[in-house]
Amino acid sequence: MNKETRIQKIHEVMERDKPHGNMEIPWNDRLVPKDVYLIPLEFLVYNKYNGRILSRTQSLERQNYIIDVESAEGKKKIEDLLFESNETRNKTTQTSLNDYGQQKVGIITKDGIIIDGNRRAMLLNRGKKYEYFKAVVLDVTLDENPLEIEKLETTYQMGEDEKVGYNATEKYIKSKLLYKKLTQQTYSSNTDKHQPNKDAVAKIAKWMGEDSTEIFRYLNTMEVMDEYLEFFEYDGFYTQLDKREDQFLNLTKWLNTYYGEESKKGFDGYGDDDVDELKAIAFDYIRAKYEGKEFRILAEGQRPNHFFGDKEIWASFAKYHNDRLKNIQEVEIDLTSENLNKHLDARDNTFVDSTKLDGKVSFLEENIRIHEEKLGYNRASDEPQKLVSKALDALNAIKTGHKSFTNKDVQKQVEALGNKVFGMLLQKSAARTLSHIIGLLESLDLKNIAEAEQEEIHDKAKKIQQLGYQITKRF
C-alpha cells in the first residue's frame, strides 16, 4: 500500500467511524486535544528511525542495506529489530496485549507512519489477535513537519517511563542526531572548532526529559564513541558499542579531566600525547569488554589509585601493552557479510584471542595484574615490613630447579634483584652488608667449582682481598 492510498484509507476511517475517546498531545508548544481512532494495522508503516532501534537501522544503512518499510521484507526486518531490542520485556508486553488488548494509545501521521507505538504495533502484528491500532492521527505527514514530529516522538519515546526499555546506546545517538538537525552542525567538544549551541542543547534536554548537563554528557560521550568506532574502522556500526556504556562514560570523564595537562590526578609532567596514549589503550580494553575495577584502574580517581597517576607505572604499563599489541594482525572487515554484526563481533573475539599468552591468559589481564601489584607496593611504601615479607614469600615460591630458571633473561632479573637488595642494605647498614657478603663466601662450595670458572674466581678473590685490606686499613 503506497503513501497516497494510506492517506485516503485513514481519512475514510476518521470520516466514517466514531472516535474511541480522546487525548491531549504536545504540538507546537501547546497541548492539543485529539480524537483517538481504531486504525487497521494494515494501513500503518513502522518508523525505521524509531529511537528504540536507531543504532540498528543506522548500522544497517552504513552497510548500504536499504530498509523499505513499505515492503514485506522491510516490515519484517523492523519487526525483528524491535522485538530483539528488549526480548524479555517484549514477551511480557505480548502477554499483556493478548490478555487485555492495547491500553496505551499510539500516535501516527496522516499517511500512517507510526510516531509513537512502534513496539506495540509490532507486538499486535505478531500476536495476530487484534486487527486495529488505537491511535491519534496527526494532520501532517512526516515530510511536512519533520522537526515538530521529531520533537513529539522524542518527548514520548525518551520520557522517563519509556527509557528503561531502550538499548543504552540509543540515547547517545538520538542526542547527536537531534543536535545536528537543530543546528545543521556536528557537535564537537573542541571549542576551538565549534562553540556548542546551548539553546539547541536546552531544547533536546526538554524533549528528552533531562537537564542540559546530562545532554552535554550524552554528546561528549557519543563523540568518544564515534572516535572509538573510527579507530577500529567501524564507522557508523553502532552495534559495536553494545554493553560498553559504562566504560565510555569513564573514558569520556578521564579525557575531559586530563586534556590540557593541568589535572593533579595525572602523573607529574604528563602531556596531551600521554592522554592520547591513554585513550588508545583504553579503546583496546573497551573492545575486549573489560569493565568495573579492571577498567577503572587505568585512570580513575586520585593519583595513588590508578596507573596514569604514576609516571613509572604508566610508562611500564603502556610499554608492556604496545610491545605486545604490535604483534597482533587484525582480521580484514568484510562489508559484504550477510550478518555484519556477527562478523564484527567475531573480529573483536579474534583480537581478544590474539592477546592470550600461550593461548591462556590475555596480556591485557596480565598487564593489569602486574601493574596493580606495583600500585599496591606504592601505596604500602610506608609499610616496609609488609612489603619485605611479601617479597620473601614470592622468592620462596620460585622453583630454582625449573629449566626456565636458567634462562638468560631470568638470570639477569635475579641479578638485578640481588643488586637491588644489596643496595638497600648498603644504604642503611654497611656492617650488615659485609655480614651478608661473608655469609655468601662461607657458603661457596669450592670443591665443586667448574674448571672453566677457576681462573675467574681466582681474580675476583684477589679483588675481594684488596677491598678488604682497604677497609681494615681505614678502620
Per-residue confidence (pLDDT) for residue 417, from 0 to 100: 76
Residue count of the chain, please give it: 475
Per-residue confidence (pLDDT) for residue 274, from 0 to 100: 97
Query: Are 223 and 187 in contact, with CB atoms under 8 Å apart?
Result: yes
Per-residue confidence (pLDDT) for residue 393, from 0 to 100: 67
**The three cell numbers locating residue 316:** 611500564
Rounded to whole angstroms, the Cα distance separating 307 from 130 reads 59
Give me the residues paired with residue 34 across strands: 23
In this prediction the pTM is 0.74
Per residue in 105-133, pLDDT (tens digit) is: 999 999 999 999 999 999 999 988 899 99
**CA-based nearest residue to 112, from 82, 130, 138, 132:** 138
**What kind and span of H or E run contains 297?**
none
Per-residue confidence (pLDDT) for residue 399, from 0 to 100: 72
What count of other Cβ atoms lies within 10 Å of the Cβ of residue 11?
A: 12
Give the CB-side neighbour count of residue 251, counting CA atoms within 13 A.
29
Three-state SS for 26?
A: strand
Per residue in 426-447, pLDDT (tens digit) is: 666 778 778 878 888 888 888 7
Rounded to whole angstroms, the Cα distance separating 11 from 8 reads 5
Give the CB-side neighbour count of residue 148, counting CA atoms within 13 A.
15
Residue reference for cell 622468592:
395
Give me the residues paired with residue 137 across strands: 108
In terms of C-beta distances under 8 Å and separation of at least 24 residues, what long-range contacts does 339-343 make, across chains too?
A: 340/59, 340/63, 340/237, 341/59, 341/237, 341/239
3-state helix, strand, coil in the chain (%, to 5): 60, 5, 30
Using CA atoms, how far residue 213 sits from 102, 151, 184, 198, 380, in Å, is 36, 19, 21, 10, 39
Per-residue confidence (pLDDT) for residue 430, from 0 to 100: 79
Per-residue confidence (pLDDT) for residue 412, from 0 to 100: 78
Three-state SS for 132?
A: strand
By the 10 Å C-beta count (0-12 exposed, 13-18 middle, 19+ buried), 235 is classed as exposed
By the 10 Å C-beta count (0-12 exposed, 13-18 middle, 19+ buried), 378 is classed as middle
Q: Which residues of the chain have pLDDT under 50?
A: 160-161, 163-164
Per-residue confidence (pLDDT) for residue 161, from 0 to 100: 47
